[in-house]
Amino acid sequence: MAEFTMELNDEQKEVRDWLHGFAADVIRPAAAEWDEREETPWPVIQEAAKVGIYSLDFYAQQYFDPTGLGISMAMEELFWGDAGIALSIVGTGLAAVGVLANGTEEQIGTWIPQMYGDASDVKVAAFCSSEPDAGSDVAAMRTRAVYDEAKDEWVINGTKTWATNGGIANVHVVVAVVDPELGSKGHASFIVPPNTPGLAQGQKFKKHGIRASHTAEVILDNVRVPGSCLLGGKDKLDERLARAREKAKKGGERVKNAAMATFEASRPAVGAMAVGTARAAYEVALEYATTREQFGRPIIDNQGVAFQLADMRTSIDAARLLVWRASWMAVNGKPFTAAEGSMSKLFASETAKKVTAQAIQILGGNGYTREYPVERMHRDAAIYTIFEGTSEIQRLVIARTISGTSVR
C-alpha cells in the first residue's frame, strides 16, 4: 500500500507537465471553435491519440498508479485546457471503467481496446445508464434485458439519455434491468458491440456547456447481444441476484448495482475535472486583476478583488486535497466510511461553479463576453454539480453514510 502524500514524484511531475503542454498548445487554441460548432473535435482526439494520451495504455498506467493520483492529475490538467474538448478525450473512460469494475479479464482484454481504436482509426465508447425517467433514481430504470436461453443471447429494449458519445460510439456499455422485482439490485451491464442491429442514436442535445462533447439519446430496439456480452458473466449475475433475493426477504443490507459501482469508481475523477476548470478560471482572473487598472492602480490592490482571489485559491486547493484523498483511498482499498468519494465530487463541483462565477465578476463586462474564456468555463462548470450524481445526491450519500440511517 502506498503512503498518502501531497508531493508528486518525478515521474508524475513529468506526466503532469506533458499533459499541461498538450492542454496549453492543442486543447486551448481549439476550445472556442469547437464550443461554437458543438461537434465532436475528432482532429483533437486524433492528436491526443498520436501522442499517446488517448489510449488504453496511458489510462491503464494512470489508473493503476499505486498512489492513486494518476487519473486525478491527468483529469485536472486536461480540463484546465477546456472541459468540452477534454470530456471528448476522456469520455470513453467511463465506459472503460464500467468494464473494469464489472467485467471479466477476458471481457476487459476484448472490449476496452475496441473502445479506443488507434491513432490511425480513432474510436470512442459510451456508458449508457440514465433514462428519461431514471436519472438519480436508478431504481426507476425501465430498459429491460431478457435472456434467450435457446440462443444464449440477451435481448435489450429501452431508451437511454444523456449518454456521452451515445450513438457515435464504437462500443456501448448499457445498464439494464434483468429482474424488475429487485429494483436497483436487479440491474446488470452489457456490452453492445459495434454495428449491432437495433441500436440507434436518438436526439442529440444542444447544451449550455461542454458543447464539444457529444451527448445524445440511445435507442435500443430488440438489440440482441451474445451471452458473453453480459459483464461478469451469467454465473456471477445469478449468484448476485440470488443473494439480493435472499436479503430482500430478510430486509438485509443493500447490494450494489452495476451503474453505481461505475459511478463510485469515477467520482473522484469528476472532482478532478472540476478542479481543473476552477483552476483555469482562477488563473485568468488573477492575471486580469494584476494587469487591469482602474482609478490609477491594478484592481487587485482593492480588497474586494484580492479577497475573492484568496478565497478562490483556498477553495481550489481544498477541493484538490479532497480529490487526492479519495483517489488514494480508492486505489489502496480503503473503504469510504464517510463517503469520501462523494465528498470530493461534491466540494470540487460546487467550487468550480463558484470560482468560475467569481472570475466573471472580477473581469466585469469583459468576463461576460466570449472574447474571454471565463464565460465558457462558467457554462462548463455547471455540469459538475449535475452529472454522475447531482450535488443533492452526493449530500444524500454522505448523510446516509455518516448517520447509518435511510435519509430521504
For residues 196 and 150, is the Cβ–Cβ distance under 8 A?
no
Q: Which of 36, 106, 388, 392 is the catalytic position?
A: 388
11 is catalytic: no
CB 176 within 8 A of CB 223: no
What's the rounded Cα separation, in Å, for the pair 59 and 70?
9
Residue 37 Cα distances to 31, 109, 132, 214, angstroms: 10, 35, 26, 11
Angle at 133 between CA 131 and CA 139, to 5 degrees: 85
Nearest to 285 by CA among 362, 376, 377: 362
SS3 content of the chain, % helix, strand, coil (to 5): 60, 15, 25
How far CA 71 is from CA of 28, 311, 395, in Å, comes to 20, 26, 24
Decide: 193 and 225 in contact? Cβ < 8 Å. yes
Q: How far apart are CA 336 and CA 264, in angstroms?
A: 10
**Nearest Cα to 62, choosing from 54, 77, 74?**
74
- Just list the catalytic residues: 388
